[in-house]
Amino acid sequence: MLTEKFDAVDVIRHKRDKLELTGEEIDWMIDAYTRGVVGEEQMAAMAMAIFLNGMNRSEIARWTQAMINSGERMDFSSLTRNTADKHSTGGVGDKITLPLAPLVAAFDVAVPQLSGRGLGHTGGTLDKMESIPGWRANLSNQEILDILDGPGCVICAAGSGLAPADKKLYALRDITSTVDTIPLISSSIMSKKIAEGTDSLVLDVKVGSGAFMKDIDQARKLAQTMVALGTDHGVKTTALLTDMSTPLGLTVGNALEVRESIEVLEGGGPADIVELTVALAREMLTAAGKPDADVEEALKDGRAMDRWRQMIIAQGGDPDAELPVAKDQHQVIAERDGYLTRLDAISVGVASWRLGAGRARAGEDVQAVAGIELHAKPGDMVKKGQPLMTLHTATPERFERALQSLEGGYDIEDEAPAPRASVVLDRITAE
């Protein structure tokens, strides 16, 4: 009979009692959890102990390595192009991956965007892409390599072989209120990104009400932890801290966000989306050895759009197909004249989720059509009776709960707010 090296109860007690876990304890805990020897209830207790007592840098590094070791690693070494990837910690209206991947690919850098589905109020990139008729998220490793060799960018589901310990642990954290803590977020994100095997990585770490990290100091600490993990594993890693106090762009919801992304690829689109897409593209291209690439021009002259169309076709989609539109819509009207001084990201995110754009449980279907169109952003002057936003859904009985989420979610005042200087708040590089 196989005897286990440790007893889960002892390892949990060590973390509960604020002791530093040894490397061997961590390796065993993750491996035994992946094998099903450590039970869900035991890992739940461990996650809560980590949430409450934290982990030091060497514990986080070992935990991340153990999660990488729980599965396979992708190998992009056969590609002739450098690979560059971006990961966002998740926000409301964050559709940046959609224009960004083809934009960077337009400069012959391969962009493997292995993405996830959304849970809770932040939308998932795959859910957005699946509103394009015919488009397929699940690809074999060979298909991924072929698309990276051709169009140069791919947005697809991360295979189940990549960091399987994280897949189990993330689902568990989601139902035990242990998601938003630096050791577990940083090891979760970086284990997947390192296992994916990209040459370089840019992290978009969100700050504000719609993000895991509500204040900039915590976001900076998360970014520094992830940049150090990536750098130690030989992945060129930098991070931008970006504002998530208000939604990005003018749409939240799956098909609505695809439509807005296409506007950006046509050379238009909202200023904050263009600003962040360009800033992240510059980071990725600099890391890939192309610091002088004129990314703004590639959005305007259609080169990024060409890559987008090629990528959609390669994944079975029709780039010319009409995107679905909700048959039921409801407008929220300004009740007075003034300036919109606040539009809270989390209120809009939850409202969109309640309209059907997101899921409450893993595996649920989402509505492609559900979401919110914003007609004003903070700083805009509005007139009494003017629509502030339009709610979209295929199930109108959802309007009431969505409207409840928007109550208190915005302010209209006499004085204009101080303009936001930039959506990018800070840049973090390896120490």
Q: Which residues bind ligand URA (CB under 6 A)?
A: 89-90, 170, 179, 184-185, 188-189
Report, in Å, the least distance between residue 180 CB and ligand URA. Answer: 8
Taking the least distance from each CB to ligand URA, the nearer of 29 and 374 is 29
Report, in Å, the least distance between residue 57 CB and ligand URA. Answer: 17
Query: CB under 8 Å to 232, separation ≥6 — which residues?
Result: 61
CB 389 within 8 A of CB 408: no
Of 166, 204, 243, 272, the active-site residue reads: 166
What amino acid occupies position 53? N
410 forms bridges with which residues in the sheet?
Answer: 343
> How, if at all, do strands 338-343 and 381-382 pair?
antiparallel
Of 14, 87, 117, 128, the active-site residue reads: 87
Other CB atoms within 10 Å distance of the CB of residue 140 = 10
Position with the least CB separation from ligand URA = 188
Query: CB under 8 Å to 380, separation ≥6 — which residues?
Result: 339, 340
Other CB atoms within 10 Å distance of the CB of residue 366 = 22
Rounded to an integer, what distance in angstroms lies between the CA atom of residue 203 and that of residue 215? Answer: 17
Report, in Å, the least distance between residue 169 CB and ligand URA. Answer: 9
Report, in Å, the least distance between residue 265 CB and ligand URA. Answer: 26
Q: What angle do CA 92, 98, 101 make, to 5 degrees?
A: 130
- Per DSSP, 83 falls in state B
229 forms bridges with which residues in the sheet?
Answer: none
Report, in Å, the least distance between residue 163 CB and ligand URA. Answer: 9
Taking the least distance from each CB to ligand URA, the nearer of 181 and 261 is 181
Active site residue 192: yes
Report, in Å, the least distance between residue 225 CB and ligand URA. Answer: 12
Taking the least distance from each CB to ligand URA, the nearer of 107 and 212 is 212
Rounded to an integer, what distance in angstroms lies between the CA atom of residue 141 and that of residue 28? Answer: 29
Rounded to an integer, what distance in angstroms lies between the CA atom of residue 378 and that of residue 388? Answer: 11
What amino acid occupies position 419? P
Active site residue 87: yes
Q: Which helix H or strand E contains 53, and what residues bound it?
A: helix 40-53
Rounded to an integer, what distance in angstroms lies between the CA atom of residue 47 and that of residue 26? Answer: 12
Of 188, 200, 352, 405, the active-site residue reads: 188
CB 33 within 8 A of CB 43: yes
Of 14, 95, 167, 173, the active-site residue reads: 173
Report, in Å, the least distance between residue 301 CB and ligand URA. Answer: 34
Active site residue 392: no
Taking the least distance from each CB to ligand URA, the nearer of 40 and 411 is 40
What amino acid occupies position 316? G
Active site residue 166: yes
Extract the tokens encoding 336. Answer: 């007075």
Taking the least distance from each CB to ligand URA, the nearer of 65 and 188 is 188
Taking the least distance from each CB to ligand URA, the nearer of 68 and 189 is 189
Taking the least distance from each CB to ligand URA, the nearer of 112 and 151 is 112
Query: Which positions are catalytic?
Result: 87, 166, 173, 188, 192
